[in-house]
Structure 1
């Protein structure tokens, strides 16, 4: 939205990864912490599929219903400028309590909004966001190692899981700002993921039921574990849904007009 108030320039860095994955962005100081969470999901490239919390000085901010053993302050009731209010102020952001992604936020600059300027806005960054559910920093390191080594035992499976256009070093600030301008976290699928989605859709339209794992193995010439990894990834990203442990129940949630054409 357009704002004429105080603007915070913040740098967020994902901890435990080298080279660093970071983003620099501007956001209105009056935004609440849940809105900050939504902005962080967009600028980093996460899919908002897991729980989160902000921590500072022993205090937890998030959704109180998500914390059974801790007293968490409702993130929707706390403004950003109530927890960081001076240059150099820090705030910790935890995302996915299984993979345990830790982000350090540092307030770098306080400015006045420019006339007609729209916020939040991403200014710069480095590195692609790790794939969801890849196993935290250690799992991410193994993933990158497998992708970079064609002779690695897991190279093909990892390549099929993340898609052939995943580049750990890639960052597109224009794409991030496109997502921010829509006011929601929009996730795009890779070429390989799109091929699976299109095949499932076309197979279902032609045969009156979704394909089995065997149908996908034969079509793509891959192993059962490769298909399983791909289905898990697509489901985690919200592109499909299915009934667990029941064959031929997969359903594509992406509009048909957004799917690629198969050769």
Structure 2
């Protein structure tokens, strides 16, 4: 999840008290003490910050905390950052790692933004990254499930890509907004206007941030000279999501999923009916 705040909010605060009301069941489930911020901060971004501040070995630095993260979790993150090219074999920041350390998004999403900039397909990639940072804009209404799935399938076309479906849905919404028919577009296509607006806001912040960090130093048109190349877009998305990828192997009556390192893998649902 990406965390951003509007710049205009700065300075508009003052001392005071804030009261929250909770149901008894929620209140009773609260822990006695809040987790330390160190354990609430995304570990991948934290490790990059440690290296960018030149604080030495990641594992040694974190082990000195009062409540350090699990050593195995830290080691897994270090290996992941090496695999994606953010750290070298000696655990030093690479050029990519230095750029990722200043982007307030998950490293895989930051890498996707950087690749979108390099390959001049930034606009659709910003939409994908923003969509992965907020909720799914496609609404599945139980009373109209078939219609909702049909509407989403129209955006997926033949490539069966949720990411490209999101790009097409967002672009259609922007066109409708320019014609002052955004509400009707969302209603017809089972889309959440609120989520699309959140994606639009994040996109603007991404572009501003990339300019501020010097990753974008050319006109917007040049950053999008290849934004209609869907093969390139898919390649950039895959490169950003790597190594969290698997291939689908079709069998006669079923399919299997395989990764490059682990071989066959299984998918487990996180929610029960």
Q: Same fold (TM over 0.5)?
A: no
Larger relative helix fraction = 2
Quick check: which has more Rg, 1 or 2? 2
Q: TM-score, normalised by structure 2?
A: 0.26
Q: TM-score, normalised by structure 1?
A: 0.27
